[in-house]
Amino acid sequence: MTTNEIEKQLKQKAEFQIRDHAKMITDTLANFAREHTNQNRSGLRWYSNRAKPEPRFNGDDERPDPCDHFDWNELAQLIRRNMEHNLLTAMVEKKARELLNKIDLLG
């Protein structure tokens, strides 16, 4: 087995772990919404601002609080994409280091 094949397998395993965790997060959110509202929601409205905007004091309406509705699968994809962007490379590097340490112990 070549180094590239090992790295490819480590990357696939990391992607699977991220995908699995993102699904677990969205399943937990869906179950929470169902249990605490007695409604079977199709997803969540996801706001892009961290805090609700304050109304302006010059007579204008409140600044918009942009949001999108994501169904549970779209939300899982969003979480997965962000986790892969932030964590995937570091996960593969950690798994490769752990594998090399195990090989050193055996050799």
For residue 94, give Cα distances in angstroms to 16, 68, 71, 101, 103. 15, 35, 33, 11, 14
Give this prediction's pTM: 0.81
44 DSSP assignment:
E
pLDDT in tens, 39-60: 889 999 888 777 777 766 666 6
Tokens of 67: 């949001």
pLDDT in tens, 71-90: 999 999 999 999 999 999 99
71 DSSP assignment:
E
